[in-house]
């Protein structure tokens, strides 16, 4: 099969097109013909050799897909050839999803809703599971005042809809473009809940909108210098939710000085723990999310198809994310 492989850690020039052996199917696996996959910021971090790269088992990167079942293992009862599925592959598949095929444990998969395009479905697993983990682990109170950075992206889209669906309306966030503002309004936020960070004085306005008070919770979806702002607007003994592992030393000092509780969100935690686990953890959560989307309770993130399976598409996806050019959309590569 065709696959884009990473020759070595470093720049996008290290991606190469290759022909590799099509994976065989274990008795509890399904072979999926990949129709679409998506790009996430963690992709370029792994490409550079970040902490998550320690989980790599294949030179073919990427972690989520939508596609069609081609072969079913002898012990698989829930799927048949031709079924349309969605999955968070993580490090549990035969390879990543910059490829034509992947073999995965059947428990990782969920059926693709018929109302959803393959390209749209491919953008859901990673951001959806991350947002759901935030929502379930944070134990939000309706009285909590919440600040979210990077809310117009995929994880932000999901977490805002989850919060609003349960009546958590005390949310303030920031956005830089008109498109991002309009997207956040479409999710149900009011105009006075979205601050333009390109305008002077936006930092002070974040506090003003909380009646001059510090926040109970910040959800940092960006990291870097923004992590310092997220830390600085938290009250003593507040909660900092981190999905990036990119907080600066200054941010960590502020968090320590204020006795902040840090909630780290990591999709790969179960696989890395070394204790007994089953792929059903991921599959069952994904089925739950897709059910909420089918019912209209939450919204799938907007997507942009940037090309077909190939080196140039992979390089473009990584470059766009690394330079913050995705515009709040999930970038999609398709195989058909």
Same domain, 232 and 293: no
Q: What residues contact 7, with CB distance under 8 A and at least 6 apart?
A: 14, 15, 16, 59
pLDDT tens digits in sequence order for the chain, 336 residues long = 999 999 999 999 999 999 999 999 999 999 999 999 999 888 888 898 876 676 677 889 988 999 999 999 999 999 999 999 999 998 789 999 999 999 999 999 999 999 999 999 999 999 999 999 999 999 999 999 999 999 998 899 999 999 999 999 999 999 998 989 999 999 999 999 999 999 999 999 999 999 999 999 999 999 999 999 999 999 999 999 999 888 999 999 999 999 999 999 988 787 676 655 677 889 999 999 999 999 988 888 889 999 999 999 999 999 999 988 888 889 999 997
Same domain, 181 and 285: no
Q: List the structure tokens of 303.
A: 């997507």
Q: How far apart are CA 132 and CA 149, in angstroms?
A: 17
* Chain CA centroid to CA 269, Å: 14
Same domain, 235 and 283: no
Q: How far apart are CA 257 and CA 253, in angstroms?
A: 6
Q: Are 221 and 242 in contact (CB under 8 A)?
A: no
φ, ψ of residue 324 to 5 degrees: the values are 55, 50
Q: Are 42 and 52 in contact (CB under 8 A)?
A: yes
Same domain, 292 and 174: no
Residue 270 lies in a domain: no
Q: How far apart are CA 127 and CA 278, in angstroms?
A: 20
Q: Are 97 and 62 in contact (CB under 8 A)?
A: yes
The pLDDT assigned to 12 comes to 96
Same domain, 98 and 144: no
Same domain, 139 and 250: yes
Q: Are 227 and 205 in contact (CB under 8 A)?
A: no
Of the candidates 207, 232, 264, which is a domain's last residue?
264
The pLDDT assigned to 41 comes to 85
Q: What CATH number is given to the structural domain containing 157?
A: 3.40.50.720
Q: Are 52 and 245 in contact (CB under 8 A)?
A: no
Of the candidates 204, 234, 264, which is a domain's last residue?
264
Residue 290 lies in a domain: yes
The pLDDT assigned to 279 comes to 77
Residue 72 lies in a domain: yes
The pLDDT assigned to 300 comes to 87
Collapsed DSSP state (helix, strand, coil) of residue 115: coil
Residue 213 lies in a domain: yes
Q: Which domain holds residue 183?
A: 128-264
> In the sheet where 194-196 sits, what is the strand order?
194-196, 171-175, 146-149, 215-220, 234-242, 261-264
Q: How many domains does the chain have?
A: 2
Same domain, 147 and 196: yes
Q: How far apart are CA 326 and CA 336, in angstroms?
A: 22
Residue 251 lies in a domain: yes
Of the candidates 208, 236, 264, which is a domain's last residue?
264
Same domain, 24 and 103: yes
Which of 119, 27, 19 lies closest to 59 in space, CA to CA?
Answer: 19
Same domain, 244 and 148: yes
The model's pTM: 0.92
The pLDDT assigned to 54 comes to 67
Same domain, 183 and 240: yes
The pLDDT assigned to 31 comes to 98
Between the CA atoms of 264, 267, 271 and 273, what dihedral angle is there, to the nearest 10 degrees? 10
C-alpha angle 227-232-235 in degrees, rounded to nearest 5: 120
Collapsed DSSP state (helix, strand, coil) of residue 51: helix
Same domain, 49 and 67: yes
């Amino acid at each position: 099969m065709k696959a884009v492989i990473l020759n070595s850690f470093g720049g996008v020039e290290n991606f190469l097109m290759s022909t590799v052996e099509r994976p065989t199917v274990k008795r509890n696996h399904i072979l999926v013909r990949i129709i679409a996959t998506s790009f996430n910021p963690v992709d370029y971090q792994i490409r550079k050799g970040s902490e998550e790269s320690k989980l790599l088992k294949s030179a073919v990167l990427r972690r989520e897909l939508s596609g069609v079942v081609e072969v079913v293992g002898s012990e698989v009862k829930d799927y048949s050839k031709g079924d349309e599925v969605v999955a968070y592959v993580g490090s549990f598949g035969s390879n990543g999803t910059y490829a034509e095929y992947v073999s995965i444990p059947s428990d990782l998969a969920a059926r693709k809703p018929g109302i959803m395009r393959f390209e749209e479905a491919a953008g859901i697993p990673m951001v959806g599971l991350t947002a759901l983990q935030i929502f379930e682990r944070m134990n939000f109170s309706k009285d909590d005042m919440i600040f979210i950075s990077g809310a117009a992206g995929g994880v932000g889209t999901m977490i805002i809809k989850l919060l609003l669906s349960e009546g958590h309306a005390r949310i303030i966030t920031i956005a830089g473009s008109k498109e991002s503002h309009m997207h956040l309004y479409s999710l149900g936020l009011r105009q006075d809940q979205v601050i333009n960070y390109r305008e002077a004085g936006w930092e002070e306005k974040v506090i003003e909108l909380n009646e001059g008070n510090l926040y109970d919770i910040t959800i940092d979806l960006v990291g870097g210098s923004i992590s310092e702002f997220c830390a600085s607007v938290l009250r003593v003994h507040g909660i900092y939710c981190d999905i990036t592992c990119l907080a600066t030393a200054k941010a960590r000092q502020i968090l320590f000085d204020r006795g902040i509780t840090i909630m780290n969100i990591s999709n790969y935690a179960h696989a890395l723990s070394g204790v007994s686990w089953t792929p059903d953890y991921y599959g069952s959560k994904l089925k739950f999310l897709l059910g909420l989307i089918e019912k209209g309770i939450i919204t799938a993130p907007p997507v942009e198809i940037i090309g077909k399976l190939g080196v140039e598409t992979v390089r473009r996806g990584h470059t766009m994310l690394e330079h913050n050019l995705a515009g709040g959309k999930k970038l999609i590569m398709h195989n058909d």
